[in-house]
Chains A and B, each alone.
Chain A
Amino acid sequence: MSQLAHKTSPAPSVLVETRGTGAARIWSRGRLAARASNLDRPFVILLLLSLALGMLLLLSLALGSVSIPLEQILSALLHGESDKAAWTNIALKFRLPKTLTAMLAGMALGASGLLMQTYFRNPLAEPFVLGVSSGASLGVALVVLTSGASGLAMMAGLGFAGDLLLTTAAGLGAGLTMGLVLLVATRIRSNLTLLILGLMFGYLVASLVSLLLYFALPERIQAYINWTFGSFSGVTLEQLPILASFVCAGLLIAATAVKALNALTLGEDYARSMGTNLRRARLVIVLSTALLVSAVTAFCGPIAFVGIAAPHLCRGILRVSDHRTLLPGACLCGAIATVCASIIAELPGNNLVLPLNVITALLGAPVVMLVILRQFRGRQ
């Protein structure tokens, strides 16, 4: 491992010479002077991940049922026009909101997954363990499966009004659950209690939803199942700021918890002995996760897998345990995963669209397995 670090260590100085951007220069002066060279590796990786994400964002705008040349995408983005009006329209009105939604959702899920895994000290923890997304699914199930004929007609039309109704139902369900979780979080002593309560709440909701499904009409069941597949296409350019502000707020709150998260890697007793206010840390972590998850679930449905995979991916690639590096890393890994999945789900050059949740796990699981196996091989 130290060999690897050594090999990559000359990279920053090359970077500074060739690019010489202000940020890189400030960084290199501060960090290179003060620290051993192997600590620079994570920064370089974060930079590479950002570049990869940037390219994926452009690709996501270019690819779809109609392929648009990259330079036309850039011109549409920068000047608001391209060679064909249709291209500008597709890129800016349809693909831009979808791409940005995918990125925001990925960042939110990656970050909240990291918070949960560190807080519960459990590699199987994920953003949904708090039960917030279960609450959202119950809200959606209630609306979709029990609403009157008019509601169904609206849904069948699949206009924005129908989407808005689903978003509101999911948001209400998630918001109410979030309040419940926060209330519980202030009252309990052990974080394990919170984990188990969240899981039990999930089972409870799942069985309620099953009950609703059992008595529901087939076409309504289809509408509900479509929601559970997840989608980044439901967010309009007008709704995007709402999602963005929730995600930004959640991430900012998460950023204030990095010190506590670092202390918590040694367990609650040690964290406390090193000056962590456990009660406050728990509230900050739960609030941040609940905000991120409820916003994403309300707008995109329950996006599976990214929340558990992105933190593993990020640790596997960065190989550090400092959350000042891991948090942005998990955001980037999550965003890369969701934007990738969103591109692939569209099956470029084809009119078919696959369910999003099928793609995330189908393609993501092997990648995570590879990363984890590589990590364990290094152990021998």
Chain B
Amino acid sequence: MSVPALQTRDLAIGYPRKRKADICLASALNLRLEPGALVGLLGPNGVGKSTLLRTLAALQAPLAGKVLLAGADTSRMAPGDLAKALSLVLTNSPQPGLMTGFELVALGRLPHSDWLGRLSEDDHAAVNRALDAVNAGELASQVLRELSDGQRQKLMIARALAQEAAIMLLDEPTAFLDLPRRVEVMRLLKRLARQTGRAILVSTHDLDLALRNCDQLWLLREGAMLVGAPEDLALDGGITETFRSEGIRFDENSGAFAVEKPPGAPIQVKGSGTRATWMRRALERNGYRHDAIAGVADISLQENGRGPEWHLTIEGRLSRHRSVAEVLAALKEAGI
């Protein structure tokens, strides 16, 4: 078996307090990060994801146990050596306005440079490689304050890459980004793990993206950690357990969260395809229950000369509608 890039031994994370019992968020953690793998860290708010990442990055001391980087205890490593072994990306990207993209990424070379932080030829090459790896070559000469959140976060990831550490930890790097940017960042991380052989741990709230991209999930809940392939955790109920809360549950069939509501009036939607799917979602959103066999009303999609048309049948009476909204209005009018 290969040497893990990062390993914890009976790690306990939390905050020490004076004259009171420590706040312990999780204990007896024995985790492994393997080279070349993208691992997603998930869990409800306040469960200690950030604390775990900060502890792994040696930004705060563990309550008990050890963090080992390629076998070396982080608590005994000099800051410079630590920076060569582990890089970090945080949620909010700082905005040092006057800096260019290149200069930001070049900061990642600080652990490798001399006392003045001068860049050598090698450093320049490493910065350019990192910029290319995240497809941000065109941002190199731009000033940071003129960039979007997504572009800045990309540069922060490039900066972590330029650090050339075997491990990269990211604490909710996509929290402030829109959906396409979130997809882009997760795909980028997956590709980087494969291509550069880095061990990448990313904490995120985006379960769907984590399921699609991560090689392994760490599910943190109430002091315990579940580890496994995303699909195994979905099948054995680990994800359902982790995110169990009032009125919302993880639906193993769709692989997404569903809102739990007391079952409403059953309605049958005939047919399949995109339009039928969206009609079912509209019904679910409004508290109706989809029933595949029979309902107090049934809806079918008909094609006529002018385009698709919804046919709604309530107690034998048929009405025709052009849009989902019209169907919903008709249902409400009929008192269903």
Which residues of A approach B to under 8 Å, CB–CB? 1-2, 34, 36, 38, 256, 258-259, 262-263, 265-267, 269-270, 272-278, 315, 319-322, 324, 379
Contact = CB atoms under 8 A, between A and B. Distances in A.
Nearest to A266: B94
Nearest to A279: B79
A324 B163 contact: no
B99 A275 contact: no
A259 B79 CA distance: 14
Interface of B: 57, 59, 78-84, 86-88, 90, 94, 96-99, 103, 107-108, 110-111, 113, 115-118, 121, 124, 141, 143, 145-146, 163
A321 B100 CA distance: 9
B170 to A, nearest CB: 11
Contacts of A275: 79-84, 110-111
Given A265-B99, A266-B107, A273 B87 contact: yes
A319 B117 contact: no
B104 to A, nearest CB: 8
A258 B116 CA distance: 6
Chain B's interface: helix, strand, loop or mixed, by majority? Answer: mixed
A97 B51 CA distance: 57
Given A270-B88, A273-B88, A275-B111, A321 B103 contact: yes
B309 to A, nearest CB: 50
B260 to A, nearest CB: 38
A38 B103 CA distance: 13
Interchain residue pairs A-B with the least CB separation, the first 7: A275-B83, A275-B111, A273-B88, A259-B117, A275-B80, A321-B99, A265-B96
Contact of A267 (B86, B94, B146): B94
Nearest to B143: A1
Contacts of A324: 116-118
B59 A272 contact: yes
Contacts of A273: 57, 59, 83, 86-88
Contact of A265 (B86, B94, B111): B94
A274 B107 contact: yes
A259 B108 contact: no
A259 B94 contact: no
A322 B116 contact: no
Contacts of A2: 141
Contacts of A276: 79, 110
A237 B98 CA distance: 41
Contacts of A272: 59, 79
A266 B96 contact: yes
Given A274-B163, A275-B82, A259 B88 contact: no
Nearest to B117: A259
A34 B94 CA distance: 29
A85 to B, nearest CB: 48
B115 A259 contact: yes
Contacts of B143: 1
Nearest to B165: A273
